[in-house]
Amino acid sequence: MAKSKYEYVKHFEQDDRLLPGCWLVVRLDGRGFHRFSSLHGFTKPNDLRALQLANRCAETVMKDVQDAILAYGESDEYSFVLDRKTRLFGRRESKITTTVCSLFSAAYVLYWPEFFPETPLQYPPSFDARAVCYPTSRILRDYLSWRQADCHINNLYNTCFWTLVQQGGMPEKEAEETLRGTFSADKNELLFSRFGINYAHLPAIFRKGTTLVWEEVEIPVTTPSGESALRRKKAVRALDVDIIGDQFWHDRPWLLGEDT
Ligand code: DGT
Ligand code: MG
Ligand code: MG
Ligand code: MG
């Protein structure tokens, strides 16, 4: 077929194929969620409904985007790990990030009323997205450890801050000053000695974030001849466990393959 004289404009497009053989991570982060969370009355420091809504959206992405092997979410962010061998969209960065980001955003709006039945959305939420290539499984694990450590550090701080304010009746400025320069051990001690709160006993979803993985499950089915049977099926499972240590990875050797 003859090409139109306009075809040449195609050559202005830039090649944005992500490095071959690397793990691909797409991280989304809520845009202006400081304002969004306060306008929609998210509970402080953690809103379980908001976390579960984000988990629901991430599950949608896992099921719809080929080669998503794991996802990790905390606060207003979610990271998706795509298999190092993925050929999704020819590994073109913009195609991958925009698809993941728009699917997540659309799901956020679609499922919003399920999780916030009494709170109408005030404006369309949006997310930014970036893709990063990680050449080894060790570095990929360090990336995920970085995010889970971030979850822990922020959650410990926010838990102390809001406990001082909500239960201790302390003005926000004073709570901030009380926590300035404190270490983790001080914060744990403050929660325990002043409020009887054992940080380690708070819900794991707040302390660890959520990790989504594919797992094989058995579901009861009825055969055409009317008998009960079990059918094996892959399903997305949400875990609120430590992913920094080795245990999680040793229990699931198929996630990273040989190179660890
Ligand atoms: P950005 O990402 O630069 O557009 O700006 P923000 O405002 O989204 O900032 P970011 O992503 O660093 O921090 C997340 C904000 O979302 C932070 O202000 C706290 C808020 N947020 C996230 N999860 C919760 C929650 O469960 N409850 C409440 N109350 N706030 C939350
Ligand atoms: Mg951000
Ligand atoms: Mg944000
Ligand atoms: Mg954030």
Q: What is the pLDDT of residues 68-108, one digit of tens each?
A: 999 999 999 999 999 999 999 999 999 999 999 999 999 99
Distance from residue 31's CA to the centre of ligand 1 (Å)? 8
How do residues 184-242 score in pLDDT, each as one tens digit? 999 999 999 999 999 999 999 999 999 999 999 998 999 999 999 999 999 999 999 99
Nearest to 54 by CA among 31, 81, 34, 72: 72
CATH superfamily, with its number, for domain 16-208: tRNA(His) guanylyltransferase (Thg1) (3.30.70.3000)
Enumerate the domain spans of the chain: 16-208
Report the residue among 75, 77, 155, 159 best suited for mutation to probe ligand 1: largest number of ligand atoms under 8 A from its CB.
75
Q: Break the chain down into helix, strand, coil percent, rounded to 5.
A: 45, 20, 35
Contact yes or no for 145/46 (Cβ under 8 A): no
Distance from residue 78's CA to the centre of ligand 4 (Å)? 9
How do residues 137-155 score in pLDDT, each as one tens digit? 999 999 999 999 999 999 9
pLDDT band for position 258 (50/70/90)? confident
pLDDT band for position 260 (50/70/90)? very low
Report whether residue 155 contacts ligand 1, using a CB cutoff of 6 Å.
Answer: no
Note the ipTM here: 0.97
How do residues 25-61 score in pLDDT, each as one tens digit? 999 999 999 999 999 999 999 999 999 999 999 999 9
Provide the strand spans (E) within the chain.
Answer: 23-30, 68-74, 77-82, 127-134, 210-222, 228-239
